[in-house]
Amino acid sequence: PDIMCLQEVYTKNWDDTYDHWFKREGYGAQMFQSVYKSHGVSVSWNKERFEVVDQLCVRMDGTEQVCGEKLETDNVALIVVLRFTEEDKDAGLVVSNTHLYWKPSACFERLQQQVLLQRAVRKMQDKYPKYACISCGDYNTTPDDAGYALLTMPRPVTLNEWQLDNLLPQTQADEEDSDESDSAKPLSYSEMAAAGTCAETDESISKRRKLEDEEREIEQQLQRDTQRVEQLVNTMQEEGQVLKSCYGTYADVDPSYRTEQWKGEPVYTNYSLWKGTLDYIFYSPSKLAVHEVLSLPKEDKLMPGIPNDKFSSDHVSLVARFGFNR
């Protein structure tokens, strides 16, 4: 490939193997990682075709710029700006590679990271307005998630109730998930008193008021979290550019991968204990067109899970061939 983006590149493997291999094979390469993690992300390029004109390292926990709070995930992104060496000197690419927060329930945190990444990419595109954008990575985001919709759908995006609920910060989501149904809830002290099943004592009054205060605080917290979600969604819609996924119509090529839930994306890019799609190659459709993509391996080659003797990772490779729109 002319460009390669790798995630979860361990420092030892980079120093012992990857860096030497890339140099030997004629690639330039950069790696970036958090100081608190033993792995990071890398971008490499064919030096016969590209030269680096700029780059930007992004720490994905700097989200206080997005909604006033700092994360502690140690996720990073790397942006490398490449210019063609022999073709049109005004043509080039803004290539980003990232690995977003892994926790399945952390949709709110990942969307903050997406906003941060979009801002960083936009910063590079403003400097190089003629360059096309390619954004690769393990987004830890499934195709039915709000983060995918807000990245790929025309504005304005209308999210469904399930997507909005999943965006609620985890503290609130936990409280809601742990709630029992109305039919299973025991009567409150006030309800029991009204029903004549017991007389309210000073102790029961105190407990009832405490329960009412807790319920009021939960409701107020829900309102605050809902407002934070609305603000974050609006920010993503206003600032984020609409990209397209290279594998977004893969089910048209291989109908066996089609699902109603995940539309045209593959059924999986990760195939381990959990199986599903988390990895993407996004691009700016106004400047680039996808000519072909690499077929994904069939399940019988991956069962019961990878890595195995043929696949060294629990994620499969995504490869796309691009051409410029003229």
| DSSP-derived secondary structure for 111-132 | HHHHHHHHHHHHHHHHHSTTSE
Predicted confidence (pLDDT) per residue in 87-131, tens digit: 666 789 999 999 999 999 999 999 999 999 999 999 999 999 999
pLDDT above 70 as % of the chain: 90
pLDDT at 177: 47
Instruction: Tell me the whole-structure pTM to 2 decimals.
Output: 0.86
- Radius of gyration of the chain measured on its C-alpha atoms: 24
Region 51-73: mean pLDDT is 90
pLDDT greater than 50 at residue 227: yes
CA dist 29 → 3, 6, 81, 120, 127 (Å): 10, 11, 12, 20, 22
At 215, the pLDDT band (50, 70, 90 cuts) reads confident
pLDDT in tens, 153-205: 999 999 999 999 999 987 534 444 444 444 445 555 555 555 555 556 777 77
Whether 53 contacts 82, CB under 8 Å: yes
The pLDDT assigned to 183 comes to 44
What is the percent of the chain with per-residue pLDDT over 90, rounded to a whole number? 71
Q: Decide: 246 and 281 in contact? Cβ < 8 Å.
A: yes
Beta bridge partners of 3: 45
Q: Given this model, what pLDDT does residue 175 score?
A: 42
CB 268 within 8 A of CB 278: no
**Tokens matching residue 92:** 């080039």
Consecutive H or E run containing 66: helix 64-67
